[in-house]
Structure 1
């Protein structure tokens, strides 16, 4: 529940920044993709997918994290030492976040395909986008860019979540091991998200190109296929600078999104825990 509310809140509030980022990364460029016009195109698809996507991520993330902590604490005597504990914790956070992202992408990718194609005005309505993709590309068309999306999300989340958890741990330790409050966690989520977003922008550009690419490209050029081919092609045709297209809106979007996402998530957890205690 907390993850679902957090995902919906973050994606809804910051949708225009996501649209601007997508248009900057498109092959035709920002102006040709629509500029500042209709910046809420594709929001319905994003809104529908946000709640189950974020919920599935956090259910998987928390379950794997708790399972691995239980297993690790029973196995290693060295785990009690602080250095080994921090190293073990980072590995646990990265593994749990990776599993969470892979599971969430089963929902995220179809909504991303529809959303991003609407953001560059390929389609005017969600129904038209869905029916056209199914008719021309089949059900697999909705999962176009699945592997590139996973390939982007894994390094992103392996940077973001260990950093987020580490900042929370150090902040709590600095303040006498007290519980980190939701508004404090939101700031740490913002920092971790912004850094991860900047580092993984080239992967995001490649993912966007692959998702927006169709079998019959309007520009008459061959479609983008995999990340390596796409990255090489962008560098050769447009220069390496293009791999960082949209980095400003992306970092801003994910930093602000991290503030909302982690703040709402932690607040949701706190509220639900308090309600459970009252029921008891």
Structure 2
């Protein structure tokens, strides 16, 4: 029996069934929370000062005073459809990213011999961290383009121009701009989230005397775990947004030394300019996005695996 066959036997589902379960959750969560993602990035972008006098397009509706105010102003000045700007690249990025992330997490977790009744919570922490870094590294160029589209009302032609300028100025590796703060945000987020998710899921299953995870149990576990993880990692999310918005603006820098780009220097600059409020800008819409998105995504995935596992037991090959 091959390693892949042993892993799938341990999970009770095939690799293809894992892909279907994770992809379904990714599509559902994306359709629900894209407007909140737009608002989150606009709120974070407005605390970023223009580089080298570059014109800011992402605050054309004026200053946003919170989530509801941003939704109303964007809808009034740019149209309701702008709340779904970047939907296509979000789907193109988020669906494969989620599939890579969740399937890699499960494979790693079970290769490490995890059983929720007896195993240490150290296993999901390590598996979640490795799986997230793996997925982020592959998807980062698409994430960069999506962030640019959400922060400014740009056409695909203008986005292509930004990408071409970035590649000409900084090489192909410029497409991985924001990888550092993204990993610093997502790796700890994955560790904190999976740590809490697996504990909460196991305890709720035990409390309700369940042998298989149900939608309510996984939904509640994911929502609580997501809020906790989002709180501790929001400053890195703000830095990531700032760095990726600079795509195509590097030609405006006359003196790069005056505009430090390391994660910690940007974080210090934001704190100096706006205090903790700046580092936690966009936190409300981020939590509003993460809570339902993560809950729907993981619930759909967990319930999907249970469905396929039961199907496979009734229809053995």
Report the alpha carbon displacement of residue 123 of structure 1 after superposing the two structures with TM: 2.3
Q: Is 1:132 aligned with 2:170?
A: no
Match for residue 293 of structure 2? 257
CA distance in 2, matches of 1:101, 1:107: 10
Match for residue 66 of structure 2? none
The number of equivalent residue pairs is 265
Alignment of 1:1-280 (within 5 A): 1=19, 2-26=21-45, 27=48, 32=59, 35=70, 36=74, 37=78, 38-69=82-113, 85=118, 89-121=120-152, 123-125=154-156, 127-137=157-167, 138-213=171-246, 214-217=249-252, 223=259, 225-280=261-316
Deviations 1:202-259 (A, max 9, x none): 11111111111241359x9955522101111111222232000011101111011122
8 Å Cα contact 1:215/1:223 also seen in 2: no
Return closer, same or farther for 1:162/1:120 CA change in 2, 3 Å cut-off: same
CA distance in 1, matches of 2:226, 2:219: 10
8 Å Cα contact 1:23/1:30 also seen in 2: no
Return closer, same or farther for 1:161/1:44 CA change in 2, 3 Å cut-off: same
Matched residue of 1:239: which SS? helix
- Which range moves more in the overlay, 170-179 or 37-46? 170-179
Return closer, same or farther for 1:123/1:107 CA change in 2, 3 Å cut-off: farther
Give the TM-score, by structure 1 length.
0.85
CA distance in 2, matches of 1:199, 1:240: 13
CA distance in 2, matches of 1:13, 1:113: 21
Greater RCO, 1 or 2 (C-alpha within 8 Å, sep 6+)? 2
Matched residue of 1:270: which SS? helix
Report the alpha carbon displacement of residue 19 of structure 1 after superposing the two structures with TM: 0.6
CA distance in 1, matches of 2:267, 2:60: 21
CA distance in 2, matches of 1:159, 1:132: 35
Note the aligned Cα RMSD (angstroms).
2.6
Q: Any gaps of 5 or more consecutive residues in structure 1?
A: 74-81
Report the alpha carbon displacement of residue 148 of structure 1 after superposing the two structures with TM: 1.1
CA distance in 2, matches of 1:261, 1:217: 40
Return closer, same or farther for 1:227/1:136 CA change in 2, 3 Å cut-off: closer
Q: Point out 4+ residue stretches in structure 1 off by more than 3 angstroms.
A: 28-31, 220-224
Return closer, same or farther for 1:30/1:160 CA change in 2, 3 Å cut-off: farther
Report the alpha carbon displacement of residue 151 of structure 1 after superposing the two structures with TM: 0.8
